[in-house]
A and B are shown apart, each in its own frame.
Chain A
Amino acid sequence: MTLAESQALLHALLEGGPAADPERLEACFAGTPELPAAERVGIYAGMFLSRQVDALRASFPRLAALLGEERFEALCGDYLAAHPSEHHDIGRLGRRLPAFLRLHPDPGRPELPDLAELERARDEVFFEAEAAPAPREALAALPPEAFAAARLRMVPALRLLALAHDAAAAWRGPEGDGSPPARAGPVALAVWRTGFEVVHGPLDADEGAALASALAGEPLAAVCAAFEGRDDPGGAAASALASWLAEGWIAAVEPPPGAGA
């Protein structure tokens, strides 16, 4: 058996278990009367799944708690069969779990994909690159005529989630299956880092739209336009921008080309 053949075989036995190909297993691997080859391969096969389930549990602790051990493991088994690991960091194994849950919804728990999306965002934000936040006076320093066309560069460790359920409540909620399904209705959540700690919080719908526009690199005029429905749109925009600066979400305020600094 060539090296390539033996690796293909062991891979098949890890995914399918020792019973997947008992004849070739015996031909390739040696055992002892006390511990036959199939059981030895079974040690690897058992660890193959449990190690990946452990990694997913570390990335999605609230989802795992909400589902309970048995259902979480079953979910992981289905997910890993559809999305085997393609990255050297086992910590990234669950990056496609929110999308997988959307494709395979649990009728009794429609909020699960949103909860998973929140946990994935928290995981991503934890490992994002450092970026020095812009100083608090960065917006005030902009020449008034440059304001509308200026753009914000947001720090990498920031995510905006537009969800269909209150995933933050599900994230907080009591563990086990006893908790009621999370409230339905559009929710905007920001996920970011203070120091090394990941935090998340809700945004009003218009502030969520403004942040989406900032993250998309649109000019400040478009960002501020999100607040048009308010009694005092200018004041609401100014206070949102000030809070983004205070939270360290803005890495830089970039004046339009040609504008004086």
Chain B
Amino acid sequence: MALRRVDLGHGIGLRTAHFGRFLAERPPVAWVEGISENFMAAGGRPLAVLEKVRRDVPVALHGVSLGVGSVEPIPERYLDDLERLVRRIEPALVTDHLCWGRHRGRYLHDLLPLPCTEEALAHVAARVRQVQDRLGRQILLENPSTYVAYREADMPEWEFLAEVARRADCGILLDVNNVHVSAHNLGFDPLDYLDGIPAARVGQLHLAGHADRGRYLLDTHDAPVAGAVWALYGEALRRLGRVPTLVEWDDRIPPLEVVVAESRKAAAIEEELLRPAAVAPAAGPREAVAP
């Protein structure tokens, strides 16, 4: 198996602050992403808005609470809620993060880092398979922003993520901003990360803003995409070709047109870089995906 990349184009995160204007104005975005857990309730406005938007554009369901690397079992209640939502919305993509976030029955509500060890690799791959079997479809795993490294590591994160994708036969949601933030915080070369990710496994890209906290970068999703991240996005496109790209903005949310403009900017960069003449020299051989 491999990943079938759905050609969605350019989208934005659908956030509560924009519900009204999104429905009234139908901005020029080709698809939207909703945070899965925000729509798992029985009813109310968020779910109604998402269902309405879904009639017009494809939707990605982006989870934050799966905690696929947590040692304790994934709660049935979570899988039930996710499965019900997936059946209801029929999303184009189902995504979550390469992280852990549950311990002793508690949700820690964070995307906590995993050690890149063989033990963690086997664990995560098995859990991703469990989720995919349950949902009857592939999911995409996203690289998180990271602030601390484990002393114990058998491989770099890009190798870990690539190997999880291969073993579990899942896709990768490559967050370009997170690559930049983690590279800065942990001191690796972001291009090594891009080079280490098998292109055929990447089903989506994320772009977002971060904050410079002096001695580290913080993944805040509360600002425009940084210049260095736009540059890295170009590098990613050169390696991956056309990939559905989504702009996330979750805090200090600006007017809708500002988020849409970021998405248009991403589309313009893609168009510029991937014109037939531009793409030919840069397109290297694609990494083969094992059966």
Contacts and interface: CB of A to CB of B under 8 A. Distances in A.
B106 A51 contact: no
Interface stretch (A42-50, A104-112, A134-142, A182-190): A42-50
Contacts of B38: 89, 91
Interface centre among B69, B115, B123, B187 (most CB of A within 10 A): B115
A243 interface: no
Contact of A51 (B70, B109, B117, B216): B109
A82 interface: no
B90 interface: no
Nearest to A11: B103
A41 B107 CA distance: 18
Contacts of A37: 148
Interface stretch (B149-157, B166-174, B261-269, B273-281): B149-157
Contact of A90 (B37, B123, B151, B152): B37
A10 B104 CA distance: 12
Contacts of B185: 35, 40
A48 B110 contact: yes
A85 B71 contact: no
A199 interface: no
Given A3-B123, A86-B105, A196-B45, A29 B151 contact: yes
Contacts of A39: 215
Interface string A229-256: 0000000000000000000000000000
B149 A7 contact: no
B115 A88 contact: no
B186 to A, nearest CB: 9
A28 B151 contact: yes
A28 B100 CA distance: 16
Interface residues of A, number: 46
A32 interface: yes
A94 B75 CA distance: 20
Given A43-B218, A90-B37, A156 B109 contact: no
Nearest to B41: A127
A129 B41 CA distance: 8
B37 A32 contact: no
A41 B147 CA distance: 8
A55 B81 CA distance: 20
Contact of B148 (A34, A40, A85): A40
B103 A44 contact: no
A143 interface: no
A48 B70 CA distance: 16
A130 B88 CA distance: 15
Nearest to A35: B215
Contacts of B45: 126, 196
Contact of A126 (B44, B149, B151, B215): B44
A128 B107 contact: no
Interface string B89-127: 000000000001001111111101011010110010000
B156 to A, nearest CB: 13
B107 A85 contact: yes
Contacts of B112: 7, 10, 44
Contact of A85 (B106, B123, B215): B106
Contacts of B65: 88-90
B88 to A, nearest CB: 12
B136 interface: no
Given A3-B119, A7-B70, A47-B110, A41 B43 contact: no
Interface centre among B38, B69, B107 (most CB of A within 10 A): B107
A39 B148 CA distance: 9
Contact of A86 (B37, B40, B42, B107): B107
Contacts of B107: 85-88, 90
Nearest to B77: A88
A84 interface: yes
A1 interface: yes
A32 B77 CA distance: 40
B37 to A, nearest CB: 5
B188 interface: no
B70 to A, nearest CB: 7
A52 B107 CA distance: 11
Interface string B25-53: 00000000000011011111110100000
Interface string A55-89: 10000000000000000000000000000111111
A182 to B, nearest CB: 28
Contacts of B70: 7
Q: What 7 pairs between A and B have smallest CB-CB spacing?
A: A127-B41, A40-B148, A129-B42, A196-B45, A88-B65, A129-B43, A11-B103
Given A52-B109, A89-B37, A89-B40, 6 more contacts: A31-B148, A40-B148, A44-B148, A85-B109, A86-B107, A128-B44
